Structure 1
Amino acid sequence: MAEATVSSMEVDEPMVYGELIVLGTNGSLPGGDRGRRKNSFTLKKRLQPNGVKPSKNHQVYDKPSNSDIYSSKEHHSVFYTLTRNVICVTYEPSSSTDMFQIGRSTEDPIDFVVMDIFPGASIPSNHNQNHQHQQSTISRFSCRILCDREPPYTARIYAAGFDTSTNIILGEKAPKWKSNGAMDGLTTNGILLMKPKRVSDNGIPDPAGWNEVSVNGGMYRLRETRSAQKPGSPMQGEDNVLVDGTLIDLCGATLLWRSAARMQRMPTQRHIDRLIEDLNGDRPQCPVGLTTLAFPRRGETQQQNDKQPWVYLACGHVHGRIDWGRRGEERMCPLCRTVGKYVPLWMGNEPAFYYDHGPPTHCLVPCGHVCSEVTAKFWACTPLPHGTQAFNAACPFCATPIEGDPGYVKLIWQPPQ
């Protein structure tokens, strides 16, 4: 009998649970993806389960770091610091789940390293913009996701992640309480969730309100302020299960969850390439200079070029770059004499942010990122956390706050003559 060759052997790919994508990154981080610090992270079934589940409660009458439980490597633990003592909840291994951790730390327990996202940083003209250094509000060990290893492969999110000592410590300022005999709490700046509630007739999921998830996975209304010590009221009927389109805010960066099923149906990088090829293939012209306009290919968008299309945001007329017609900081469109902002157009290159396969007919205001009409409408009406208290719609490709109503404009191209 002939021996089976390696080429004839089937190699099973790990089962995919879903994917996390950082809003404000247009296909990659502004400074480039590096190791675990990247714009997206695919959660795949592990060779061996590493999930954990709550086991026992212990009282500790000293600092958590002085306890034997803290120094033990045999189990994971959560320490709740109270006024007079510390309650420690130990966790035991769970053979039915895989755990993935997200945070700012680059230490080994973190699977997906997430840094603060600055508005406009992914726009090529702003790529080298120096942002004033400020202390990050993203926790070093922000949150963890546990995925069931068996169908239907449910993914659940929990506030706080286990550190290099396999511990979570909630200090005195973090909200904490006992409910039905079990301890629970929130992290200092909180982990917020917004799930899509339903899909409207045009196929766009309606954005819902933001809520906060606890260390144990309970859902609560938002606190009065992001870091208030009093928790919001419990949310009846809400759970911490991640469904496609769920937004996760880490207070400094927002993540989009795409389910494995959605990943099979959403546009691909090749689809984006074809959109660019089709636009360029139509050979649109500047109606004034009569020069041919063209988007740079994906991967060649680090700077503007001579064929770069520009748009008057007040009317949507697309031109080449024109240096006259200024009205203060604004420009007058030479076709319709409408005065408004005049910006270069950039293709939205991250497929996960698209909500259909439609043509790139619209751009978001004021950044000029081009996408389909359905996609533009969704992001223009979706409030995202901004700072520690504000909520504003923002472009998913560059995190620039949306301006005006409706927050997008239909592009009017001049065909070749």
Structure 2
Amino acid sequence: MFSLGQENISTSPASTKGPVKYGELIVLGCNGSLPTGDKGRRKSRFALCRRNKANGVKPSTVHSPGTPQAAKAVNNKEQHSISYTLSRAQTVVVEYTQDSNTDMFQIGRSTETAIDFVVTDTLPGGHGHADGQTVQSTISRFACRIICQRNPPYAARIYAAGFDSSKNIFLGEKAAKWRMQDGQMDGLTTNGVLVMHPRHGFSQASKPGLWREMSVCGNVFTLRETRSSQQRGKMVDPESNELVDGSLVDLCGATLLWRTAEGLAQTPTVKHLEALRQELNAGRPQCPVGLNTLAFPSLRRKDVVDERQPWAYLRCGHVHGYHGWGGRRDPEVEPECQERECPMCRTRGPYKPLWLGCEAGFYVDAEPPTHAFVPCGHVCSEKTTAYWSQIPLPHGTHTFHAACPFCIEPLGGESGCIRLIFQSPLD
């Protein structure tokens, strides 16, 4: 498991097994590690663990526009504050005070030390992350913060926007903002922080929930017409900003899965996935045409096509070895996108190499890999493919579509996944 790596973390007083872990955030589309490798605060999964010293904050004093106290709060680099700009001449400043009962973790695109988990835009197809210098990122530099209770039940709550290195959050004139009945201010960030809590936990019985938007103060709203609209959605009073096992957090450019420590304890390990791979290979599946034995490559070699690599026709599910025939050449279609005709059943469809899903945190059960996502060819359990193919993930600023969690490639076909049909050896 990955540890925090930035600040010392405390061990449980009742346990010598290591730090108290609140949970982990896992980036969708990374399949076990970033394409360029996990380095420092930039990695595919991030463990939130109890810190040696509490660093949580909570709102305290609201300063009216133009008062000396407001300017003092903003300029004090030891004091957390949020500034709500109503007009050029009017800024309401809300002072935040230390909270000894909570730990704060910040997520965003910025590499400043105030950010604990650096997240960059994820490209579909598992081809890596967008380079912020060449592609305009839609992820905020200080996207969101998660506040965790230091004592059981270790509740984790999410809030839009993070504090910068000067401990400030600034909501400009164009940001949606408003004053609440208790006098406190609230607002939304430019592209917003969306959260979806699954129904029935993160298990075989899981069903997708509704996407909501989280405000700077942690209130829950229906979605705006577009991500950056200045008109906020309707407040959803009964719903909470508390993350549950399987909650999805979308930062407009990257989507993160929250897994609680308890949920991860029930999740298959990489060791278990490796055992399933070996068991699958021990069955010596064969290419029904070439009769050569097929084998899934090791999890470490998850991106290199092997000569014994299983390939599949993803409309019918028949598994073969690679062969170069059966396709009709269309000069206007990329070779990897051209459809092939299955020699077993004559069904035409995508013909792709199969890859095992290596990120154990995406699995809703520990069952064998029997199904593949269409059209990327990532393989995992039936219930896992069924769950993810139901989830509309945010795409761009106003659309949603189901995607493979291992590579974020949009799903196609009738159901987004297919049961694989392996040919057993004839001897």
Instruction: Give me the whole-angstrom Cα distance separating, in 2, the residues matched to 1:408 and 1:216.
Output: 39
- Please report how far the alpha carbon of residue 63 of structure 1 lies from its aligned counterpart in structure 2 after TM superposition: 13
Instruction: Give me the whole-angstrom Cα distance separating, in 2, the residues matched to 1:128 and 1:155.
Output: 27
Instruction: Give me the whole-angstrom Cα distance separating, in 2, the residues matched to 1:198 and 1:207.
Output: 9
Answering whether residue 78 of structure 2 is matched by residue 77 of structure 1, we say no
- Please report how far the alpha carbon of residue 199 of structure 1 lies from its aligned counterpart in structure 2 after TM superposition: 5.8
Deviation string 1:250-278 (CA, Å, 9 cap, x unpaired) is 00000000011111110101011111111
Instruction: Give me the whole-angstrom Cα distance separating, in 1, the residues matched to 2:385 and 2:42.
Output: 28
Residue equivalent to 2:125: 120
- Please report how far the alpha carbon of residue 70 of structure 1 lies from its aligned counterpart in structure 2 after TM superposition: 2.0
- Structure 1 runs of 4+ aligned residues shifted over 4 Å read 127-132
- Unpaired segments ≥5 residues, structure 1: 1-9
Instruction: Give me the whole-angstrom Cα distance separating, in 1, the residues matched to 2:71 and 2:133.
Output: 40
Deviation string 1:380-401 (CA, Å, 9 cap, x unpaired) is 1100000111000000000000
Instruction: Give me the whole-angstrom Cα distance separating, in 1, the residues matched to 2:204 and 2:357.
Output: 20
- Of the structure 1 ranges 387-396 and 274-283, higher mean CA displacement relative to structure 2 is found in 274-283
| Counterpart selection for 1:192 from 172, 191, 194 | 194
| Counterpart selection for 1:342 from 351, 365, 370 | 351
Q: SS at 1:207's partner residue? A: coil
Instruction: Give me the whole-angstrom Cα distance separating, in 1, the residues matched to 2:206 and 2:411.
Output: 19
Residue equivalent to 2:95: 90
Q: Which amino acid aligns with 2:380?
A: C
Residue equivalent to 1:221: 222
Map of 1:15-414 to 2, 5 A cutoff?
15-61=20-66, 67-83=71-87, 84-122=89-127, 133-180=134-181, 181-198=183-200, 203-328=204-329, 329-414=338-423
- Please report how far the alpha carbon of residue 131 of structure 1 lies from its aligned counterpart in structure 2 after TM superposition: 11
TM-score (norm 2): 0.91
Deviation string 1:4-34 (CA, Å, 9 cap, x unpaired) is xxxxxx8451101011000011000121111
The question of whether the paired residues in 1 share the 8 Å contact of 2:392 and 2:401 is answered with yes
Identity %: 55
Deviation string 1:119-177 (CA, Å, 9 cap, x unpaired) is 0125xxxx699999320000000000000011111110000000000000001111000
The question of whether the paired residues in 1 share the 8 Å contact of 2:252 and 2:397 is answered with yes
Q: SS at 2:200's partner residue? A: strand
| Cα distance, 1:198–1:63 mapped onto 2, change above 3 Å | farther
| Cα distance, 1:131–1:288 mapped onto 2, change above 3 Å | farther
How many equivalent pairs are there? Answer: 402
Deviation string 1:157-206 (CA, Å, 9 cap, x unpaired) is 00000000000000111100001111000000000000012369x83311
- Unpaired segments ≥5 residues, structure 2: 1-14, 330-337
- Please report how far the alpha carbon of residue 93 of structure 1 lies from its aligned counterpart in structure 2 after TM superposition: 0.2
- Please report how far the alpha carbon of residue 69 of structure 1 lies from its aligned counterpart in structure 2 after TM superposition: 2.2
| Cα distance, 1:129–1:210 mapped onto 2, change above 3 Å | closer
The question of whether the paired residues in 2 share the 8 Å contact of 1:190 and 1:250 is answered with yes
TM-score (norm 1): 0.93
The question of whether the paired residues in 2 share the 8 Å contact of 1:142 and 1:159 is answered with yes
- Please report how far the alpha carbon of residue 281 of structure 1 lies from its aligned counterpart in structure 2 after TM superposition: 1.1
Instruction: Give me the whole-angstrom Cα distance separating, in 1, the residues matched to 2:157 and 2:133.
Output: 35
| Cα distance, 1:12–1:288 mapped onto 2, change above 3 Å | closer
Q: Which amino acid aligns with 2:169?
A: I
Q: Which amino acid aligns with 1:54?
A: P
Q: SS at 1:280's partner residue? A: helix
Deviation string 1:86-127 (CA, Å, 9 cap, x unpaired) is 0000100000000000000111011110010000125xxxx6
Instruction: Give me the whole-angstrom Cα distance separating, in 2, the residues matched to 1:388 and 1:195.
Output: 20
Deviation string 1:327-377 (CA, Å, 9 cap, x unpaired) is 342111011111111000000000000000111000000000000000000
